[in-house]
């Protein structure tokens, strides 16, 4: 099957979930490539906004051919930027078809903006499209405000794309319920997990405690409220004989250091590459993720795949609540989060946690589920 992946986000702004699924589908024998439009912000991207290539760039990432166009966004011009993104994506797909022929399937990642482009391309060229969605409501509310009062037009366009898709593929069933206030549920959907490279994030035995500090890690971008770092800081102050390592984009900032001021047992790593994430997980005894909103946090699957338990909050989807491996605390409750962190210290690492992730989210399993959906 010829599958064209259309990510809404791609490096340097995330989107690696698309690459992992593309790799998995290619390993399953499909013809798979990625066409990406990367939106650059004049403030966020600064120098790269000016120096990024102006022509389409072809590169190969982990064995997958990628055709990338960089879009210079206009500050605060949401409608213009969305329409321009869709237009650039349509033109990129037209160029792609000239070279490789019409794909059997368009696979968009996140409805904004790739889902909108996929609907337009599908309508014009008659190619069926699917939308995998990863983004919880909190993400949209951060960008567009509660209820999207100023961007109702975008909400309606996204609802239209959901309903036109052959199938929407949320990464968890809870994500559908989370997005009902915006997009309803009058569309076909089937949850499929994100991919975890279970060969890379492999099981490893941890050192016995023997009186040493228990090592926690927290891997999440420095979105203090959504990721619950304020709750984590208060919880850590209630614990003895623990070490906490924090990693993720922006986590080595002055704001983060001030939040954990006075805690000598907290260490900041900032952004880590894939190998750095694995090393930190292998050196940790448990992951803690105190988020207020999540769709399907990949780091939970990565941590379980290496064999360590997880402390999370009640926003974790049911599919990740592995018995004996995941301890939950109410959202925003530092005292009960500290109690859960204290309880997890008696949970040893286990190869069974890794085996569960293998059966749920390994490349072969996810590729098989996606293939079944596309072929049906």
| CATH assignment of the domain containing 165 | 3.40.50.2000
Same domain? 35 vs 157: yes
Both 187 and 81 in one domain: the answer is yes
Rounded Cα distance between 336 and 79, Å, is 43
C-alpha closest to that of 87 among 37, 125, 21 = 37
pLDDT at 134: 86
Number of domains in the chain: 2
In this structure, are strands 242-247 and 266-270 parallel, antiparallel, or unpaired? parallel
Query: What's the average model confidence in pLDDT over 2-25?
Result: 91
Asked whether residue 145 carries a pLDDT value surpassing 80, the answer given is no
Residue 367 within any structural domain of the chain: no
Looking at the fold, whether 186 and 221 belong to one and the same domain comes out as no
Asked if the model's pLDDT at residue 15 lies above 90, the reply is no
Cα–Cα distance for residue pair 162/303, rounded to 1 Å: 32
What's residue 17's pLDDT?
A: 87
Q: Which of 130, 157, 191 is the last residue of a domain?
A: 191
Same structural domain, 89 and 160: yes
Reported as a single tens digit per residue, the pLDDT across 31-83 is 999 999 999 998 888 888 888 899 999 999 999 999 999 999 999 899 999 99
Q: Are residues 109 and 239 in the same domain?
A: no
Write down which residue in 142, 176, 191 finishes a domain.
191
Residue 116 has pLDDT above 80, yes or no: yes
Residue 214 belongs to what H/E stretch? strand 214-219
Please indicate, yes or no, whether residues 347 and 278 belong to a single structural domain of this protein.
Answer: yes
Give the range among 263-272, 312-321, 344-353 with minimum mean pLDDT. 312-321
- Residues 118 and 255 both lie in one domain: no
Residue 369 lies in a domain: no
Across 9-13, 100-104, 251-255, which has the greatest mean pLDDT? 100-104
The rounded distance, in Å, linking the Cα atoms of 135 and 183 is 13
- Do 162 and 248 share a domain, yes or no? no
Q: Among 38-42, 108-112, 285-289, which range has the highest average pLDDT?
A: 285-289
- Is residue 208 domain-resident? no
The answer on pLDDT for 353 being more than 80 is yes
For range 16-30, the mean pLDDT: 94
| Predicted TM-score (pTM) of this structure | 0.87
How far apart are alpha carbons 222 and 14 in whole angstroms?
14
Residues 6 or more apart from 199 whose CB is under 8 A from it? none
Residue pLDDT, tens place only, 169-221: 998 888 898 888 888 889 999 999 989 999 999 999 998 877 899 999 999 99
Of 152 and 245, the structure prediction assigns the larger pLDDT to 245
Q: What is the mean pLDDT of residues 7-13?
A: 88
pLDDT at 294: 85
Whether 133 and 6 map to the same domain: the answer is: yes
Residue 376 lies in a domain: no
pLDDT at 211: 80
pLDDT range class, residue 150, cuts 50, 70, 90: confident
Lowest mean pLDDT, pick from 147-151, 225-229, 267-271, 356-360:
147-151
> Is there a contact between 5 and 35 (Cβ–Cβ < 8 Å)?
yes
Sheet holding 129-133, edge to edge: 57-61, 64-72, 31-40, 2-7, 105-109, 129-133, 167-170
Predicted local confidence at residue 319, as pLDDT: 84
Q: What digits encode the pLDDT tens for the residues 239-250?
A: 999 999 999 999
pLDDT of 47 reads 86
Angle, vertex CA 171, rays to CA 278 and CA 273, nearest 5 = 20
Q: Which domain holds residue 25?
A: 2-191
Say whether both 223 and 177 belong to one domain.
Answer: no
Q: Is residue 54 part of a domain?
A: yes
Q: Does residue 231 belong to any structural domain of this protein?
A: yes
Residue 42 lies inside a defined structural domain of this protein: yes
Same domain, 239 and 142: no
Bridge-partner residues for 71, per DSSP?
39
Q: What is the mean pLDDT of the chain?
A: 93
- Can you tell me which residue has the tokens 């986000």? 9
Establish if 371 belongs to a structural domain.
no
Average pLDDT rounded to a whole number, residues 23-32? 97
pLDDT of residue 13: 82
Say whether both 168 and 242 belong to one domain: no
């Amino acid at each position: 099957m010829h599958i064209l992946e259309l990510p809404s986000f791609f490096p340097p702004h995330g989107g690696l979930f698309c690459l992992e699924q593309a790799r998995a589908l290619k390993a399953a024998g499909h013809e798979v490539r990625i066409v990406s439009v990367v939106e650059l912000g004049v403030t966020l991207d600064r120098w790269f906004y000016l120096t990024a290539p102006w022509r389409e760039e072809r590169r190969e990432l982990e064995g997958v051919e990628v055709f990338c166009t960089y879009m210079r966004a206009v500050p605060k011009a949401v409608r213009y930027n969305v329409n321009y993104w869709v237009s650039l994506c349509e033109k990129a797909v037209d160029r792609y078809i000239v070279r490789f022929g019409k794909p059997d399937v368009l696979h968009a990642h996140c409805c904004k903006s790739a889902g909108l482009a996929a609907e337009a391309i599908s309508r014009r060229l008659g190619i069926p499209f699917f939308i995998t969605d990863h983004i919880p409501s909190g993400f949209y509310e951060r960008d567009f405000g509660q209820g999207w009062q100023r961007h109702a037009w975008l909400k309606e366009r996204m609802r239209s794309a959901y309903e036109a898709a052959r199938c929407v593929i949320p990464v968890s069933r809870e994500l559908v319920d989370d997005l009902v206030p915006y997009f309803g549920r009058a569309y076909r959907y089937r949850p499929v997990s994100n991919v975890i490279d279970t060969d890379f994030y492999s099981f490893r035995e941890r050192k016995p405690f023997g009186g040493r500090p228990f090592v926690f890690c927290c891997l999440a971008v420095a979105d203090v409220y959504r990721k619950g770092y304020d709750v984590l800081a208060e919880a850590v102050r209630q614990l003895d004989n623990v070490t906490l390592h924090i990693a993720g984009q922006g986590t080595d900032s002055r704001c983060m250091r001030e939040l954990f001021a006075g805690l000598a047992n907290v260490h900041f790593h900032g952004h880590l590459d894939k190998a750095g994430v694995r090393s930190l997980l292998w050196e940790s005894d448990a992951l803690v993720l105190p988020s207020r909103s999540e769709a399907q946090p990949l780091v939970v699957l990565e941590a379980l795949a290496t064999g360590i338990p997880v402390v999370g909050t009640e926003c974790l989807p049911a599919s990740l609540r592995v018995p004996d491996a995941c301890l939950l605390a109410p959202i925003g409750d530092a005292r009960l989060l500290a109690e859960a962190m204290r309880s997890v210290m008696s949970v040893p690492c286990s190869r069974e946690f890794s085996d569960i992730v293998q059966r749920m989210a390994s490349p072969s399993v996810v590729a098989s589920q996606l293939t079944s959906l596309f072929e049906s």
